[in-house]
Amino acid sequence: MNHMKKPQSRENKIALGFTVAVHVVALTGLIFLGITRPPEPPKQIKTVLVKPEDLVDPKPMIETDATETADTNVQEQIQQTNEPVVDAPEIPVTAPTPPVLPKVDQQKEAQKAAEANKKAEAEKLAAQKAAQAAALAKAEAAEKARQAKADASNKAKAEAAAKAQAEANAKAKAEAEAKRKADANAKAKAEAEAKRKAEANTKAKAEAEAKRKADANAKAKAEAEAKRKAEANTKAKAEADANAKAKADAEAKRKADANAKAKAEAEAKRKADANAKAKAEAEAKRKADANAKAKADAKAKADADAKAKAKSEADAKRKADLERELEAEKASAADKAKEAAAAKKAEAKKIASSAKRDFENKVKNAWRMPANSSGQKASARVTLTESGGVASVVVNATDPDVKASVEQAVRSAAPYPMPSDPDARSQARTFTASFTVK
């Protein structure tokens, strides 16, 4: 059996695709980690505390339309050394001690300073958060664009690899299917040829066995017939002529059968020789035609057709002649068989008649006529067995003594010598006799 590479199943394809995808994702992660800078550690926040005495002497409070306070001036003098960090812990800032104000406006000015300070801190924190959010959004957008580009590239590569793999699998599957079909066709042809040869061999064996059995049966029948005739010849010299004639008839029949068998065997041998010769001639003709075809195809074909036609006509004529001869032989054999059967039947009848006369004479010789029965008559119908014994006796007589004497004579004369021929013996099993008392 030829080995064929099986195409990958759907499960194998899915597993392969999943494995490729996992490797692609892992490789992409490694590349991303390699090209990305590590995050910077959080920067320290330096806070400068200002003492109230370091501040500029406040001017006397003059009621004007401006809203500027001491707290605003202090805020402008604060220096920031680094950029604010969102994740850094918040450090409480102690508000500078406000200058001593007159008791009249002290509470009002303190409230205004506190509100302004809170508002400035909130605005500053909001600006810091907005800047950090913008930077983070920009970084995330850049990372997403880079990741999308890498994913698209990996996807394109995976799709190309999957397409190439699918095309290779389809091609391998088609080649395997074609090879399987070719192997299946070759196997089917081989099996059909093997089956045809096996059937031909079986038929030839059956025909040979039937012919052997027929020959064996014919031989057994001939041997049985010869044995029976040999035994019949040894039974009685009185039937020597009849047995000799029967033997001569059997011998004639045997010779006729032998002649017929010899003719049949000769005919079979002639047919076999003719078939062998025809095969040899056909093979020689095929080789000659093959050699001549290269030289002159047209002429070779015409010659072959002419030879085939002549051979067919000759075969048809020979077959017709043979059939006529066989029919004539069959008719002659049938006539001879009929004549032999008629002669055998007449001979059997003659032998049976002679045997019946002998049986009647034997009974009459054994009959003891009763006294005081002069003129009485009787008739007897006797049926014998195959071996000559008395099977039944039917006596017709008016005088009981005569009847009893006749029946006694029939039984005392047994056994009767039966003919050896089956037909004559069958005819002689029943005979009649008439008796008259003198």
pLDDT (tens digit, 9 = 90+) per residue, 59-74? 555 445 544 454 445 4
Task: Check: CB of residue 11 under 8 Å from CB of residue 57.
Answer: no
pLDDT-wise least confident of 35-49, 183-197, 220-234 = 35-49
pTM: 0.28
pLDDT band, very low/low/confident/very high, at 164 (cuts 50, 70, 90): confident
The DSSP bridge partners found for residue 433 are 380
358-436 in CATH: which number?
3.30.1150.10
Instruction: Note the pLDDT tens digit of each residue in 262-279.
Output: 787 878 788 888 888 888
Which token pair is 337?
């068989």
Instruction: Give residue 422's pLDDT.
Output: 92
In whole angstroms, give the CA distance from residue 66 to residue 7: 90
In whole angstroms, give the CA distance from residue 76 to residue 53: 16
Instruction: Give residue 408's pLDDT.
Output: 94
* Chain centre distance of CA 299: 49
Which token pair is 295?
């030289």
Domain range list for the chain: 241-349, 358-436
Angle, CA 386 vertex, CA 382 and CA 392 arms, to 5°? 25
Residue 370, CA distances (Å) to 120, 182, 400, 438 in order: 183, 107, 10, 10
Instruction: Note the pLDDT tens digit of each residue in 333-374.
Output: 888 888 888 898 899 999 999 999 999 999 999 999 888 888
* pLDDT, the chain, mean: 81
Residue 4: pLDDT over 70? no
